[in-house]
């Protein structure tokens, strides 16, 4: 019997369909908005709750009023998107987008702004894959896919347009009434929270995503297609007395923070591999940005941190272009996710996925491959002076455990998973420190290679990280917080210099003199003048105050007169 009934229903169609839940478009908008405000904005509410000035009833009421206002506002915006045919997919997509955003924010303590979105769009999929952990996917399934599937399964009545307009009008009136009421009652509370906690607007999901995309779009639209030349007046001083070529190796680190360098006083010997080498450690260096997409172009740009924007940098040359034009052979060797446009006009070698089976696995390589790259660069016939930029994979997270070979698991237990929140802070620190230990080994290997050639060339090695990292301090992980919000761990970067005896004579500055200025506050802004100074390039771009070597040079030193 039941079988017959089922066939009957199926043939008629209507009875089966009428069993689906039916919802008006307005009800759908209110429901989706409630879900987003309540479920996808946990960090927003947690932050507001923790910073409210008033712990009495007033603070809670202010929060409640804001919740009601946001619910009404989001419901109105969603209702405006709800049109026949497109309404359901649009709402479903919005729910998934909000869940993905919320999951990143809750997991890693990040905020979502233009810079973060640029990072997401520029990152490569190997790195993105590291973030797609099982718990992340489960979270997105629960908070995003499940409600989205429900929306798609529902039957939504869109009603007649006349009635729709009337409902919308009522909705707008309700919003105005709530808005006026909340502002009249709690304006001072909201203004203080917004002023003192600017991260709030980057936490409010999903408006943070749309704000960020809008910013990126404006940035793109403003970008002219022509490339602006800089330092066109650059000329090199006539070759110095030394008849040997100068080789400068600039090692750009990744996600190494100064706080974990024993050279700077960190209790663990993370830089032991450099013991006994005459290196100079600069302990007070600040980065330009807190993510690769900002710091990398910024450190090679003449704009400096204050004037830097990714769009402005993309439409003008950088110091590598200037050096190349001045006659320096420039080469970029990459073991990271690319140079973010910096090496666009420079000879480039990408070692990040191919090559040595002993060092590469799963489409990425340990930084040891850069030693091969350096060998290759150094063995080329010496034709004048040259700069080699080696771009490390460094300590890129969250898979810190994949940044060093197994024999370097010096500090244990380690956090051998990408789900770093599941590890104890001790295990996380151990893993990160093992990575710094490996970076030191690679740097030591580079110095050995340069030292072995000191009879035939003068060499300088300069290492500086692109930005730091948060390892769970204050529940913040990874990096990429906007500059003004970011903790020192994300902005204080290690910098190391080494130079051969020949280079010290040629530049008129040695280890002892460099150590005199190593404690000063330096920044990524000083890289451009330092590189220009190392190659004795005269240009209006050259700002002597930022040239680290010139600052260390004794006033009566051999080259001082030349400046
Ligand atoms: Zn980076």
Distance 448 CA to ligand 1 centre (A): 26
Q: Which single residue is written with the structure tokens 């209110």? A: 30
Q: Which two tokens stand for residue 254?
A: 């990744």
Please state, in angstroms and rounded to a whole number, the distance separating the CA atoms of residues 405 and 400: 11
Q: Are 390 and 249 in contact (CB under 8 A)?
A: yes
Q: Which two tokens stand for residue 527?
A: 């890289």
Per-residue burial over 281-320, b if 16 or more Cβ lie within 10 Å, else e, is bbbebbbbbbbbbbbbbbbbbbbbbeebbbbbbbeebbbb
Rounded average pLDDT over 173-190: 90
Distance 187 CA to ligand 1 centre (A): 40
Q: Which two tokens stand for residue 96?
A: 């998934």
pLDDT for 292 equals 93
Distance 160 CA to ligand 1 centre (A): 53
Distance 210 CA to ligand 1 centre (A): 24
Rounded average pLDDT over 387-412: 95
User: Is 241's pLDDT higher than 60?
Assistant: no
Q: Which two tokens stand for residue 301?
A: 């740009």
User: Is 253's pLDDT higher than 60?
Assistant: yes
pLDDT tens-place string over residues 114-123: 888 887 777 6
Distance 19 CA to ligand 1 centre (A): 53
User: Is 11's pLDDT higher than 50?
Assistant: no
Distance 397 CA to ligand 1 centre (A): 9
Instruction: Calculate what percentage of the chain has a pLDDT beyond 70.
Output: 91
pLDDT for 128 equals 73
Distance 208 CA to ligand 1 centre (A): 22
Per-residue burial over 149-176, b if 16 or more Cβ lie within 10 Å, else e, is eebeebebebeeeeebeebeeebeeebe
More confident site: 21 or 530: 530
pLDDT for 20 equals 67
Q: Which two tokens stand for residue 546?
A: 């930022």
pLDDT for 7 equals 39
Give the global pTM. Answer: 0.80
Distance 413 CA to ligand 1 centre (A): 25
Distance 290 CA to ligand 1 centre (A): 8
User: Is 57's pLDDT higher than 90?
Assistant: no
Distance 280 CA to ligand 1 centre (A): 23
More confident site: 315 or 257: 257
pLDDT for 3 equals 43
Distance 396 CA to ligand 1 centre (A): 7
Question: In whole numbers, what is the pLDDT of the chain averaged over residues?
Answer: 89
pLDDT tens-place string over residues 428-482: 999 999 999 999 999 999 999 999 999 999 999 999 999 999 999 988 899 988 8
Distance 351 CA to ligand 1 centre (A): 17
Distance 119 CA to ligand 1 centre (A): 10
Give the pLDDT band of residue 503 (cuts 50, 70, 90): very high
Distance 378 CA to ligand 1 centre (A): 26
Rounded average pLDDT over 366-373: 94
Please state, in angstroms and rounded to a whole number, the distance separating the CA atoms of residues 398 and 136: 13
Distance 449 CA to ligand 1 centre (A): 26
Distance 483 CA to ligand 1 centre (A): 14
Distance 499 CA to ligand 1 centre (A): 26
User: Is 1's pLDDT higher than 50?
Assistant: no
Instruction: Calculate what percentage of the chain has a pLDDT beyond 90.
Output: 66
CA distances (Å), 376 to each of 133, 379, 383, 473, in order? 37, 5, 14, 41
Distance 394 CA to ligand 1 centre (A): 9
More confident site: 20 or 63: 63
Give the pLDDT band of residue 230 (cuts 50, 70, 90): very high
Please state, in angstroms and rounded to a whole number, the distance separating the CA atoms of residues 255 and 222: 30
User: Is 245's pLDDT higher than 50?
Assistant: yes
Distance 251 CA to ligand 1 centre (A): 13
Distance 286 CA to ligand 1 centre (A): 14
Phi/psi-derived region of residue 440, left when phi > 0, alpha when psi is between -120 and 50, beta in every other case = alpha
Distance 292 CA to ligand 1 centre (A): 4
Q: Are 522 and 282 in contact (CB under 8 A)?
A: yes
Q: Are 112 and 164 in contact (CB under 8 A)?
A: no
Per-residue burial over 242-269, b if 16 or more Cβ lie within 10 Å, else e, is eebbbbbbbbbbbbbbbbbbbbbebebe
Distance 393 CA to ligand 1 centre (A): 8
Distance 150 CA to ligand 1 centre (A): 39
Distance 470 CA to ligand 1 centre (A): 12
Please state, in angstroms and rounded to a whole number, the distance separating the CA atoms of residues 553 and 505: 11
Give the pLDDT band of residue 221 (cuts 50, 70, 90): confident
């Amino acid at each position: 019997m039941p079988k017959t009934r089922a066939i009957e229903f199926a043939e008629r169609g209507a009875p089966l369909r009428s069993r689906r839940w039916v919802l008006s478009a307005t009800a759908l908008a209110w429901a989706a908005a409630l879900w987003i405000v309540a479920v996808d904005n946990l960090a927003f509410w947690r932050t507001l709750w923790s910073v409210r000035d008033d712990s009495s009833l007033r603070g809670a009421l202010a929060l409640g009023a804001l919740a009601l206002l946001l619910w009404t506002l989001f419901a109105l915006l969603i209702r405006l998107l709800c049109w026949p045919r497109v309404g359901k997919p649009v709402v479903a997509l919005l729910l998934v987008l909000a869940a993905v955003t919320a999951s990143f924010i809750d997991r890693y303590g990040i905020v979502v702004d233009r810079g973060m979105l640029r990072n997401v769009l520029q990152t490569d999929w190997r790195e993105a894959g590291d973030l797609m952990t099982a718990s992340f996917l489960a979270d997105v399934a629960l908070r995003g896919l499940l409600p989205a599937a429900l929306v798609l399964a529902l039957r939504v009545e869109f009603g007649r347009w006349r009635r729709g307009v009337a409902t919308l009008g009522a909705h707008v009136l309700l919003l105005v009434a709530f808005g006026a009421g909340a502002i009249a009652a709690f304006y001072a509370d909201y203004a203080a929270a917004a002023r003192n906690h600017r991260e709030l607007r980057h936490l409010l999901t999903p408006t943070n995503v749309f704000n960020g995309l809008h910013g990126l779009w404006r940035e793109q639209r403003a970008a002219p297609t022509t490339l602006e030349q800089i330092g066109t007046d650059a000329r090199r001083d006539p070759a110095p007395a030394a008849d040997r070529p100068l080789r400068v190796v600039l090692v750009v680190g990744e996600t190494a923070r100064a706080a974990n360098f024993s050279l700077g006083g960190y209790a663990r010997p993370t830089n032991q591999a450099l013991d006994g080498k005459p290196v100079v450690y600069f302990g007070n260096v600040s980065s330009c940005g807190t993510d690769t997409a900002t710091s990398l172009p910024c450190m090679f740009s003449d704009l400096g941190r204050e004037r830097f924007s990714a769009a402005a940098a993309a439409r003008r040359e950088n110091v590598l272009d200037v050096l190349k034009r001045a006659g320096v052979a420039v080469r970029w060797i990459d073991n990271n996710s690319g140079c973010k446009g910096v090496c666009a006009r420079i000879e480039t070698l990408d070692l990040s996925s191919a090559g040595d089976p002993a060092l590469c696995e799963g489409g990425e390589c340990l930084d040891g491959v850069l030693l091969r790259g350096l060998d290759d660069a150094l063995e080329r016939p010496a034709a004048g002076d040259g700069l080699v930029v080696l771009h490390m994979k460094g300590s890129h997270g969250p898979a810190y455990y994949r940044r060093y070979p197994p024999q370097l698991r010096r500090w244990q237990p380690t956090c051998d998973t990408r789900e770093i929140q599941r590890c104890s802070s001790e295990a996380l620190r151990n893993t990160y420190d093992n990575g710094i230990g490996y970076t030191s080994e690679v740097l030591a290997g580079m110095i050995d290679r340069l030292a072995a050639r000191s009879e035939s060339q003068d060499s300088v090695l300069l290492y500086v990280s692109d930005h730091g990292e948060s390892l769970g301090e204050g529940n913040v992980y990874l990096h990429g917080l906007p500059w003004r919000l970011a903790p020192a761990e994300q902005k204080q970067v290690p910098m190391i210099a080494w130079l051969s005896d020949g280079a010290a004579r040629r530049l008129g500055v040695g280890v002892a003199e460099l150590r005199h200025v190593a404690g000063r506050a330096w920044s990524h802004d000083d890289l451009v003048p330092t590189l220009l100074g190392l190659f004795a390039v005269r240009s209006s771009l050259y700002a002597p105050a930022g040239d680290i070597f010139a600052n260390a040079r004794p006033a009566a030193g051999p080259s001082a007169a030349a400046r």
